[in-house]
Structure formats: structure tokens, C-alpha cells
Structure 1
């Protein structure tokens, strides 16, 4: 779920940033608004993208639309084939299908960097609220289900509306990146930095992902009250 000036290597403590254009990125749940938006932004930055969906035909159709809008290389495939084709995999599926999807794809995701951006949220008459997750967070659930993968967490607080808007040249927000493997979090920060306006900021180990996911509920409340597409900016780094 999404809420509503960077260049490669511009993030804090970036050092020699990895070349993200050398990696193929799969977006599982890529036919939803957040998945489409991320795929388009990555493709426009020169990163090869594979959109994953439960139905290969739908993935191919959406991928063609995304490529027409953003350029670059965007293809579509069934989730398992998309996961198999990439070395970095972004999980952007709905929370209610999160566990089943990852459980089914554990073999295909082994050896890969997995970026979980799923926000476990509920909604009632009072608005959005964070759901309790037994493992502590969606990202920690992913780590339990994917013992052969390197799981990180990022891209939770981006507005799908802004992501998909080709008239918005710069997103001007920070991306909080969490994980237990330095090389993996550096790669994901570089992936964020590749998108104009985004800046990847290391925000702690994976055990801290719960409050980052939950913050999305607060941002949705901000956006509803102020009719905005608010994001997060970290100061003094």
C-alpha cells in the first residue's frame, strides 16, 4: 500500500554506490498502483524491470502500458517467472496475500535480494490503523518465509498517485531502508537514489520495520486531512 533531489549515489553514506542498471528488478504485485508506479520509475532510470502477477497475460498487458508511458525495458510474467528472472525482487502485493505469495515462491527467491514494501493496515470508520503481525512486521514475516533470500524493507511511504504521474518529474521524498545485510541495504538505497527526487536512507535493522510500516497509517491520515500526497524527509543527514 502506498501513501500519498536524488541521483545514483547521492544518499547519505553512499560511498561507491552499486550500479543498479546492472540488475534486473522484478516487482511482484506489479499490476497494482504502487507496483506500476515503482516499475515505471525504475524503467525510466534505465533499470530493466519484470512485472509479476498471478496471470501472465495481465502482467504482459500492464507491462506494455508502463513501458509506453515511461520507456525503458518493462516486461510481464507470472509471479514465479518474474521472481526467477530477476536478482532484486520488490514485493508490492496486498497484505492479505503476502504470506501465501512468498511461501509459494521461496525456491524462486532463494539467493536474491528481496525488498518488502508491504504495509499491514486495516481500515474502519475512524480511518487507517496498523495491524498486529505475529512476526513483528511484514518484512520479518518475509524473512521467516524466505530463509534463502536476503530480505530488506523499503518504499513504504510513497504516494502511488505521484509514482504513476508522468508529469511529476521529481518525487522529493526519502525512502527508509532497513535490513541486516550492509551490501543489500546499500543496493536498495542506490535503487531509491536512481529515481529523481528519491533518496535512500538507512533506517536500521529489519527488526525495526514494524514502526516504519505502521507509519503509513499516519501518512494516510495526513493526506486525507490535508488533501495531500505527503512523504517522509529525514533532516541533518
Structure 2
């Protein structure tokens, strides 16, 4: 019997969402791809191997234990409002980055501080918002092995951070505890920096590594 949590990925048909899905499926998780179109999500699920299904965003979020939001920032608030009622009591992992076209390589954080803080305000105190996966290039996730970079994880509830660190360990070199949710602004801003690096150095997915760690936080 699979005791691992079921993960819904809203935006699961996109590059980042589908890349995360493939990694978690390979690690033995049940994944539900969410999309505004249930048919699009079901079609995408049929191309993947493992315990995977597809549905509209609300149904996917309702059926999951953990909900990952991997939608463009332009759809961020609408998606959260769509699923607000069905994610109460759950962990919602926000991977959205506040990119503002056309200057996506320029840091342009929202007045609220970060996408993650907007998510917590919209969803309310009954939802444990954790922020992660901003700086992992989707290209790396689709290569079939864990991405050679670290994932910074932020949240106000340590137990929820630890859960998401475990999920990050399945898709990248390591999940790193970045502290409280407000600190997510640093990783969200760093995404624009990495996009610029990708362009200047002509690489598909520059990432980050945190050096000098030899023990778990607090040990």
C-alpha cells in the first residue's frame, strides 16, 4: 500500500508542472495533473508513466493531500481563488514567480512582497503555504534524473517545510530550509537573475547550490 501523499500539480501540463510530475511519479508518488481544462490534463496524464491522473484544477486539488501551484504569475491569483475552499487544512506549495513580461530578467516583485505571501493572504490561515521550486529549470526535470541544483524551501510552519524539503529531495540535489515565508522573496527574485544568466551564458537551466552544509538545521 502506497503511504506517500497524493500530489496535485495545478499547471501540471506546463513545463515546470509536468517536469515535477515525472520526477515524483518516478519516486512512487501518486500525481494528479490539474488544468483549467480537465480534458487537457487527462490527455497529458496519458503520456506519463506511473500512478497519474488528470482533472480540472478544483477536482485535482480536492483529491490531493498536497497541492502544488505551478502556474504563470498572470494566472496565480485566479487559480488560488478557484481552489481556496478545497485546499483548507492542506499544504499548498507555491512555485509561482512574479515575472513581468517583457523584462522577465529584471526583478519585479509585487507590492505584497512575494507571490507566496499573496498566496497565504488569499488562502487564509487554514492553509499552510510553503514556497519552493522557483529556481529549478524545467529542462533539468525532464532529463530523467534529479536536477543538479538545490531547492530553497520557505514557510512559516516548520513541519510543512520539512514535508516539502522531502519532496524537493526527490527532484533535485537537496531541499534547503530557507526559513519563513517572507524569505521567499529572495528565491522569487533570483529567478529573474537566473533567466538573465541563461541568456548571457547560453545555457538551458542555470541553478543554485548552497555550499558548506554538513548537518541538518539546528544540529
Normalised by the length of structure 2, the TM-score is 0.92
**C-alpha distance in structure 2 between counterparts of 1:170 and 1:98, whole Å:** 26
> How has the CA–CA distance of structure 1 residues 187 and 123 changed in structure 2, closer, same or farther, with 3 Å as cutoff?
same
Secondary structure, in 3 states, of the residue corresponding to 2:105?
strand
Number of paired residues?
210
Of 36, 52, 55, the match for 1:77 = 55
Q: Which runs of structure 1 show a deviation greater than 3 angstroms over 4 or more consecutive aligned residues?
A: none
Matched, 1:109 2:123: no
**Greater relative contact order (CA < 8 Å, ≥ 6 in sequence):** 1
Q: Which residue of 1 aligns with 2:72?
A: 94
**C-alpha distance in structure 2 between counterparts of 1:175 and 1:198, whole Å:** 8
Q: Which residue of 2 aligns with 1:5?
A: none
Matched, 1:142 2:124: no
Secondary structure, in 3 states, of the residue corresponding to 2:206?
coil
Normalised by the length of structure 1, the TM-score is 0.85
Give the superposition deviation at 1:117.
Answer: 0.6
Q: Which residue of 1 aligns with 2:166?
A: 190
**CA-atom RMSD, angstroms?**
1.4
Give the superposition deviation at 1:130.
Answer: 2.4
After superposition, what is the alpha-carbon deviation per residue over 1:185-231, rounded to whole angstroms, capped at 9, x for unaligned?
Answer: 00000011123x43100011001111210100110111111112211
Checking the alignment, whether the CA contact within 8 Å between 1:29 and 1:51 is kept in structure 2 is yes
Secondary structure, in 3 states, of the residue corresponding to 2:146?
coil
> How has the CA–CA distance of structure 1 residues 35 and 158 changed in structure 2, closer, same or farther, with 3 Å as cutoff?
same
Q: Which residue of 2 aligns with 1:202?
A: 177
Give the superposition deviation at 1:138.
Answer: 0.4
Checking the alignment, whether the CA contact within 8 Å between 1:174 and 1:232 is kept in structure 2 is yes
Secondary structure, in 3 states, of the residue corresponding to 1:128?
coil
Checking the alignment, whether the CA contact within 8 Å between 1:123 and 1:129 is kept in structure 2 is no
Q: Which residue of 1 aligns with 2:156?
A: 180
Checking the alignment, whether the CA contact within 8 Å between 1:21 and 1:48 is kept in structure 2 is no
Unaligned stretches of 5+ residues in structure 1 = 1-19
